[in-house]
Structure 1
Amino acid sequence: MSTAPPNVPPDVPPTALPTAAPNVPKAPHSMRMRLLIGATIWLSGSLLVVFGVLALSVSQSLERTVQRQLGFEVDSLVAAVDIGDGGDIAVEYEPPNPLFSRPYSGWYWQIRHGDTVLRSRSLWDWDDLLDARPSHTPKGTLHIRRMQDPYGRELQIAERDVYLPGLKGALHVTVAADRSELIRERSTLLTVLGGALLLLFLVLLLTVHFLVSITLRPLYTLQNQLELMRETPEKRLGGAQPRELAPLSNAFNAVLDHDADLISKARTHVGNLAHGLKTPLSILATQAETLDPAQREIILREVSIMKRLVERHLARARSVTGSATIRGVRVDAGRASRRLATTMNALYREGPQITLDCGNDAVFIGDEDDLMEMLGNLLDNACKWAAGQVRLSARATRPDGLVLTVEDDGPGLAGDEAESARQRGARLDDTVAGHGLGLDIVQDLASLYGGTLTLDRSFLLGGLRAELRFPAMVPPPARPA
């Protein structure tokens, strides 16, 4: 197994340092969609009920109209009956409806008294079409029924038993009317009614859409202000908010002011702590030089451990407080890479050649200092161990996603050394300067943005390959106010 110095700095964390991206739940329907869907269901249900009620009322009204007309025809026939001296019956005049005279017109009448039967001309040769049928209604009551004529037309039948003075037995009077006209009239009325209600539905739906847009406009304005705050953290929610949103806006501004104050104090404390601890540790290291070798070695080793711990925790505190203030700024990863390459070339004048391969759409969503800190540690690590080449690439994976890769042509990481490197803060080679914190800080910063850091062998250059992968973090833009 290779015993070459590892292609990682003394501060290498585990060979693979994945940090699981947060599980982002599927966004539910917007309030706008919920209101519109609810209004659509409510309006359609209500108008369907209204249509059903009106359709029933129209049908019943038309039926009553036809029944009244048939009842009028029955009364007209009874009034036209003439009773002779021998008890014979006759019709003095034809009913005024001309359809009773047209053969098979659909309008028929018949009067039966015993064996005597009088019929309209429209019945022509249909002698038994309107024969009397048993009626279970009280005497004199108009009885309504339906039947079909030989042509398949549906007929509305109105019949009544009439008792006239000087006439033995009941006079059974029957009038039939074709229902086709009734059906056509009802269909026309229901079509007009349905079209009117559909038009009303569309008008009401557009009205609801307009009212929802007007009502939710302050929320869109608030969302736009929040998006601006992601890019400019010092901004606050402002403007004239509706009475329902004003308490939320004021409380949110108060929380932001409180957090900004806490972060500012934390930064101050971090700086003070750094100066307060580094000076005594430096004095201890200087004083240890005057001691005998055994004691000097023990004290210097413990001072070195303390310095590494201080640097580690201070760096982590700086990274947390620094990135907590800016989470929505769009940073050009290509420009940051070029700046770092220039710095590394100046720092390692006799060092490796740094090659950049950055796409124009490579954008980091967050604090530029955090990006520079992560890339700086990875490039510094690569430059320390590279034989002659270092390659830095930046690619957008999807809208607002980013992959940063740093590769070199150094000796790489052997299997047994990889196990040692998994120890956080471990140093595999004390001949190289460092505090054992570089990739540890990179991992911490990446996790703040939901990113992952992985270390493996470069297929392109043969050395170490460090990859930073960041998911999309910016929500969809707000609707225009």
Structure 2
Amino acid sequence: MNNTNIIDHVIQRLVPKSIQGRLLIASLMSLPIFCGFLGLSLDRAFTNSLRTGEQAQLTLQAYALIAAAELEGGQLWLPEQLTETRLNQPSSGLFAAIYAKGKQHSVWRSNSALNDQLLTHWTSRGEQYGEALFGTINQANNTFFFLQYNVFWEDSSGTQHPFQFVIFESTQYIEEQIAAYRKNLWSWLSAIALAITLLQLLIMRWGLRPIREVSNDLKKIQSGRPSILEGSYPTELSELTDSINTLISNEAEQRNRYKNTLSDLAHSLKTPLSIMQGSLQSTEKIDQQELEQQIYRIDQIISHQLKRSVNAPSNPFSEAIPIEESCESVVSALKKVYREKPVEVKISIPPKLKFRGDKGDLLEIVGNLLDNAFKYGRGNVQVSGKPLSSNKIMITISDNGPGVDSEQYTQLLKRGERADTSQPGQGIGLSVVADIVSSYRGSIALARSPLGGLAVIVQI
């Protein structure tokens, strides 16, 4: 087994087969990533907000020191007690210093300034005047925010003296705020992620419940009750359940068809076999023509029953067959058969009207009906067709023959029944059509033709 096969095998073993399991694993993998990015974004936004607020606060402190300072004899003087109380309190975490250009040590520092090392080793971070420079600095394992503000101070003689105001504040308070915020943030995000996972699990169970219902209903069908899926299913599953019901129905129809075929075959063969038996047992000369006629009838019955026993019901995905073209081919063939009997055929079928099913079934329907119209008609036949709906069509074949009494309509659709025994035939043409139409969940009806004869109306 190569590496690719090993990886595929491992993936197949790790990935669950259930849809719910796959969705749950996908959620458990994606949710932490989403929460992680969300937490980092919120943490960064909060940290930047605190730094921006700290910069603004230190800027105000610098402005306050500048406003309180006075220049005398080239020296800056500030009051003993400043407005900001923390600058007056040692170890308050906020302290300030003023540096003169060219001097290393500060010319003034606040009473709160105890970090001599930081003030002593402070170096200017820039020489731009009138702009504030904000940042952080590490000193003796401590971190401080600083804001440096460079100004020119002009004395009474017009001489400008450059000074550098620097405000320092410990980052401890900000760091404690950030630590507390992060603790609350990740605690809440973890709780929200857990809640979303549980909620999504409930949603998945609710959303996949129809699939479980279909599975349970199929198990009930396997046990014999009911015969089809009868539940109310969502739109997304309706096409699937309809297809399953169609398969179940077709399978049941196929079983019934096999069963009925045996019964119909035995019943249909009884009459010709009786005739043959009687003819053989008769003391008179055997009628060879009668035997051949009965043998032909037996062959027709067996062929018909075998064909109908394996005939597949309508398939909505079958190729669309033009009805007009099929009718024209059948008429052309029948005119050769009945060449001694001139028949005028009028076909009124839209070219776009099509039959979705087996082409042999369509030819069987049209062929039997037109054959009867040619045989019993008096030279005038009409074929018409039209759509009844998006999935239903109607074909009507009429002739100008003697017609049939309405009381015989039902009887004519039975196998072996004929209205005119003077014409050759086996009496199974209309029954063949009825069986085919029934397999397509259609209907066949007989009526008086406008031409005066019989009209056969087929709806599929």
Taking structure 1 as the reference length, the TM-score comes to 0.47
Taking structure 2 as the reference length, the TM-score comes to 0.49
